[in-house]
Amino acid sequence: MPDLPEELRAEHEKAVAFARSQEETVQQRLDADRPTLTMLVNATQDGKLPRETRMAWLRKLADRINQLAQSLSACATNHCSHCCYAPVSLSFLEAKLIGAAIGVEPKAPPAQTARHAASATPTPLRPKIGHGYAWPCPFLVEDASLPSGKGGKCGIYEHRPMVCRSCLSMAASDKLCEPQPDHLVPLPLFDARVLHLLAAQIGGAEVADIRDFFPAGMAG
C-alpha cells in the first residue's frame, strides 16, 4: 500500500471491501453468459479475418462484459469523467478504426513508440497525465458549469478505445478516481487483463496515447 493521506487510505479500504463484496455476483454473471463470451473470444482469434474485423469483435466482447459488470461499479451511479484525464493508450490500428468512423485521420504514432521508426523525435511537453485535470482527452465534451471531472461526456462514445470500454472502477463511488497531484492511488478495477492482451495481440506494437493520435480531437 503506497503512503496515502488518511482520508484517501480510508476511502481505499472501503473501496476494496466493496469490490470484494461484488466479486461473486460479477463471476456469476460472467459464468451465465459464458456461451456468448466464448463465441466472441473465438471470433477475435479467427486468423482468417482481417485484423480490423477481429478488433471489431473484441469491442463487442468488451461491451458485453461491460454490460454485465457496470451496474455493480462506480461507473453505473456516478456521472463523472475523471478517467478522461488519465492516459488513454491504444494501437495505431484502433486509432485508424476510430478515425474512419469519425472522419478524422489520426496522426502517425510518435517515432519513439512506433516499431518501424527510423529516428526518434521529441514529444511535446505536457502536464503529467493522470495527476490532474490539465490534459483531458481531446474528445471529452466538458460541462463548463461543473468542476473538472464532474459531468462531461465522451464525444465519440460509440467509437471509444478498448481501454475505455474495459475500464470499470469496482468501488462504490468515484472518490478514488479523482486525479491526485501528489499520489498514485490504486483503484479496485475490473480485471480486464484478458481484454488488454487480446487488444495487444490484434493491434500490434504501434501504440501511443489518444492525445498523440488525435491532438485536436474532432477538429482534426
Encode pLDDT of 118-171 as tens digits: 444 444 445 566 567 888 999 999 888 888 888 889 999 999 999 999 999 999
- Residue 63's identity, in one-letter code, is D
Q: How far apart are CA 192 and CA 208, in angstroms?
A: 19
Hey, where are the domains in the chain? 6-113+129-219
**Beta carbons of 104 and 93 less than 8 angstroms apart:** no
pLDDT at 35 over 70: yes
Q: How far apart are CA 65 and CA 74, in angstroms?
A: 15
pTM of the model: 0.86
Give the pLDDT of residue 218.
93
DSSP characters for 24-53?
Answer: HHHHHHHHHTHHHHHHHHHHHT-TTS-HHH
pLDDT digits (tens, 9 = 90+) for 10-27: 999 999 999 999 999 999
Query: What does the chain come to in residues?
Result: 220
